Amino acid sequence: MTQQQKHNLAKIIAKDLITVGKVPLAILVVIFISAMSVVFATHHTRQAINEKDVAQQERERLDDEWRNLLLEENALAEHSRVQAIADEELQMKRPDADKEVVVNLK
Q: Return d(Cα 21, Cα 68) in angstroms, integer.
A: 72
Amino acid at 12: I
Question: Each residue of 22-63: pLDDT tens digit?
Answer: 787 788 889 999 999 999 999 999 999 999 999 999 999 999
Domain borders along the chain are: 9-92
Question: Each residue of 66-77: pLDDT tens digit?
Answer: 999 999 988 877
Its pTM surpasses 0.75? no
